[in-house]
Amino acid sequence: MHVVRMGVLGCASIAFRRVLPAMQEAKGIELRAVASRDPAKARVFAEHFGCAAAAGYEDLLAREDIDAVYVPLPTGLHAYWVSRALEAGKHVLSEKPLTWDRSTALDLVDQAQKAGLWLMENYMFLHHSQHETVRGLVAEGRIGAPRVFSASFGIPPLAPADVRYDPGLGGGALLDVGVYPIRAASYFLGPELDVIGSVLRLHPDRGVDVAGHILLATPAGVTAELSFGFEHSYRSWYGLWGDRGRLTLDRAFTPPPARQPLIRIESQDHAEELTLPADHQFKNIAEFFARSILTGAHYEPQARAITHQAELVDRVRSNAVRVTA
């Protein structure tokens, strides 16, 4: 196999705007078919991206010319269709989060491992080169010993009918935007993070969380303070504060492909800005997914990452002080 033949379960906006165009650019992927509950929508996608429109989700999974599927469905539908895709022998790239609870995430990872298939969450920001640069600067001692990681991801209120306000479909700010800062904290501070406390602000009518704040800590006492929500002016940012200086990065989770990231490093008597090359995180993760399948890459690191993230999200939820306002 020299290319991963890809199918798409669901015609979500992010698939149309970001992921499928990136897959068309990516090496090692060939987009073969899309499926939707609405046949007309599938036909629109198929015509736009030059692929087939399947009769439905099950029809797409039954196709022999599909090696892997991308699942951009609402979170509450991920578990069933990811499991069905694995049963059909397909590798899976799922929109994040994989599921809304730890036990189901563990079951899906176990199913993938037993079947010898790749199951991956689409945390595309991890595949932008800016974060590896930040990690390198910290390792070089540019801010000294890290003491605090801070991150925020907030967006303005959504349209009233948006599925992210639907608790039955896995709605809420924690699962939509809160998971990004959590995943970033693990990326920089390691897998031993624990949840010290959290606050979730609930919508008075919709039954979902619309904002929150989380405090995490490593065994050595390095802390992560994370904020997120659906009722904010837009912010996508993180910073690392050390004993000799601090480093900040804006548009950390959602940089457009043409954007040149700007890292700012400040100390007591000095400040500097580093402009980095533009990078395309959606294309990068698509190529990483395809390359991992084509080369038979070791899956265990992905399994650990999915498991650890699901455990942290579960502990954030179980530790939360809930406020309705």
| Extended strands (E) in 72-208 | 91-94, 119-121, 146-154, 194-202
96 given a catalytic annotation: yes
DSSP 253-288: S---TT---EEEEEETTEEEEEEPPP--HHHHHHHH
Question: What distance lies between CA 279 and its chain's CA centroid?
Answer: 17
Question: What distance lies between CA 5 and its chain's CA centroid?
Answer: 22
Both ends of the chain: CA-CA distance in Å? 54
How far is the C-alpha of 64 from the C-alpha of 232, rounded, in Å?
45
What is the token pair recorded at 218?
């490593």
How far is the C-alpha of 229 from the C-alpha of 177, rounded, in Å?
7
Residue listed under structure tokens 């199918």: 7
Please identify which of the residues 90, 96, 114, 283 carries the catalytic annotation: 96
How far is the C-alpha of 228 from the C-alpha of 170, rounded, in Å?
16
* 195-215 as b/e: b if 16+ CB within 10 A: beebbbbbbeeeebbbbbbbb
In this structure, the number of other CB atoms found within 10 A of the CB of residue 84 comes to: 17
Residue listed under structure tokens 């992921």: 19
Question: What distance lies between CA 217 and its chain's CA centroid?
Answer: 21
Residues in Cβ contact with 194 at an 8 Å cutoff, skipping those fewer than 6 apart:
216, 217, 218, 219, 315
How far is the C-alpha of 178 from the C-alpha of 96, rounded, in Å?
11
Residues in Cβ contact with 21 at an 8 Å cutoff, skipping those fewer than 6 apart:
282
Q: Which residues are catalytic?
A: 96
